[in-house]
Structure 1
Amino acid sequence: MTLTNKLAPGSIGVFDSGYGGLTILSEIQSLMPEYDYIYLGDNLRAPYGSRSFETVYEFTKQAVEALFGMGCNLVVLACNTASAKALRTIQQNDLPMLNPDKRVLGVIRPTVEVVGNISKNGHIGILGTIGTIQSKSYDIEIAKFYPDFKVSGQACPMWAPLVENNEYENEGADYFVRKNIGQLLTKDADIDTIILGCTHYPILLNSIKKQLPENINVISQGYYVANSLKDYLHRHTDMDSVCKKNGITRYYSTESPEKFEEAASIFMGKKVSAERLIIQ
């Protein structure tokens, strides 16, 4: 199917390297069901977490261009690795040439903005992919808002694959969750708030909470990203006016639609119908 058959002018684009962004989309849909959405998962090239900055940037730019080409005026990078490694360059260098009237938003800043309302002592832990932790994007953003806060990060390279392979409820998942949380708390025993810095991780929330003391808060991004997007559209009426509101969502994957549909039910809690999209 050609790209012209996939046009959906006015849809809000939601992009992720795989399935994790569906946890963000689900919260956005719940808060703003009237809008049209296009979800694009680059499952063929996932995971992004261990890829270089240059590769993540190129892949993310290609996906953004594809969503723009399908009629999206606003794209949300519902992927922490893409937000960490590609967002700023796309916003500053590429958008003026691609289309200065379109916008690309990420998931890191909306998450960081609420930390100060949740943490009581300013000791923050970040659990994320290798790429997100190495980028120190959360450290940098938190320092802008809360310069006195202490931030410790821990890469969890096995968590996303466990979720994507539907192994998130077995003993192996508990083992890696326990191991990585232990490593994080060893870095700072005073952590009172942990950010799940990967959109896959809410699927592991039950296991995560089993391994944490009750006094530690866990921030799952979907709710905060959804509310931030709603606020953005409220403040930018020019963008809101070009977003269609028919309550239609379309799903695309760069890999097998059948495989995507099966996995999506884990993240969305419902069945979806997907199509394949080849991006270059």
Structure 2
Amino acid sequence: MIGVFDSGFGGLTILHELRKALPEYDFTYLGDNARAPYGSRTFETIYRYTLEAVKALFNRGCPLVILACNTASARALRTIQQHDLPKIAPSNRVLGIIRPTAEEAGSFSKTGHLGVLGTAGTVISGSYPLEIGHFFPQLKVTQQACPLWATLVENGEIESEGTRFFVKRDIERLLLKDPEIDAILLACTHYPLLLPVIQSVVPQGVRVVSQGEIVAQKTKDYLKRHPEIEKRLTRQGKVEFLTTDTPEFFSRGAIFFGEKDVFSKNLSF
């Protein structure tokens, strides 16, 4: 199966697009809901939690794991790929979602001014300006941390007045830094659930970009280019849901992400 990991529910927005792009493949989704969100945690903690999740998915027979979490991709991916993978499972692969998004960033903005909204951990890492700069050095990338957004989503506060207040505040802070921004990247997989609120407060003419379709298409392309991984994947169109919290909590939360009839299992590290 293809393993998909997130600190909580956010990665379900990536899984949804992966299943649309690769409907014949089997997936195992793992949400570390008991310890979510990751955004404000230290590098060492994020790395440790992410490595535990990767090992758990490897142990369940996933030769390919996608970190459907920007914070984990920013803070843990490189160390896992370079240091841990050669020792624990050299024939397996772990992919993130920052680089594939950065590869497409040149098409987001017409003015050359791109805004990035993410968790504190993602913003502090500087991963997006760095990765986008490799491909499109002419783009001006401006970041804004949104420390409460993921927590609001995890708690089902999708359309509350409090959510609207914080969304409006953080977007205004971003646009004050660079008024020429004409595209905003949602660099956290939780944020697409706030899209109606986000679109109601961004100025007319500012494009809002989610990652799901980009990551799904890039994963599809990756499998075409890496038959040694693709041939190890099963194809029955099945999906398994795992959570470090209670199955009841996960199943209730998954409804907000468009996942119906979710039967999840508890997984303890």
Unaligned runs of 5+ in 1: 1-10
Residue in 1 that maps onto 2:220: 230
- Three-state SS of the structure 2 residue aligned to 1:26 is helix
Residue in 2 that maps onto 1:22: 12
- Segment of structure 1 superposing worse, 76-85 or 264-273: 264-273
Residue in 1 that maps onto 2:208: 218
Residue 16 of structure 1: CA displacement? 0.3
Offset from partner CA, 1:186-218 (integer Å, 9 cap, x none): 000011111101000000000101111221111
Alpha-carbon separation, structure 1, partners of 2:66 and 2:213:
14
Alpha-carbon separation, structure 2, partners of 1:224 and 1:37:
18
Question: How many residue pairs align between the two structures?
Answer: 269
RMSD: 0.8
2:137 is the alignment partner of 1:147: yes
Alpha-carbon separation, structure 2, partners of 1:241 and 1:70:
17
Offset from partner CA, 1:204-249 (integer Å, 9 cap, x none): 0001011112211111010100000000001111111101001110
Residue identity matched to 1:222 = G
TM-score (norm 1): 0.95
Offset from partner CA, 1:91-135 (integer Å, 9 cap, x none): 111111011110000011111111112211221111010100111
2:59 is the alignment partner of 1:69: yes
Residue in 2 that maps onto 1:158: 148
Alpha-carbon separation, structure 2, partners of 1:32 and 1:184:
35
CA contact (8 A) 1:264 1:271 kept: no
Residue 165 of structure 1: CA displacement? 1.0
- Segment of structure 1 superposing worse, 136-145 or 117-126: 117-126
2:22 is the alignment partner of 1:37: no
Alpha-carbon separation, structure 2, partners of 1:268 and 1:76:
20
Alpha-carbon separation, structure 1, partners of 2:184 and 2:102:
11
Unaligned runs of 5+ in 2: none
Residue in 2 that maps onto 1:245: 235
2:77 is the alignment partner of 1:87: yes
Regions of 4+ moved over 2 Å? none
TM-score (norm 2): 0.98
Offset from partner CA, 1:59-117 (integer Å, 9 cap, x none): 00010001001100000000000000000110111111011110000011111111112
Alpha-carbon separation, structure 1, partners of 2:93 and 2:258:
25
Residue identity matched to 2:2 = I
2:269 is the alignment partner of 1:261: no
Residue in 2 that maps onto 1:111: 101
Alpha-carbon separation, structure 2, partners of 1:155 and 1:75:
26
Residue 268 of structure 1: CA displacement? 2.5
- Segment of structure 1 superposing worse, 82-91 or 167-176: 167-176
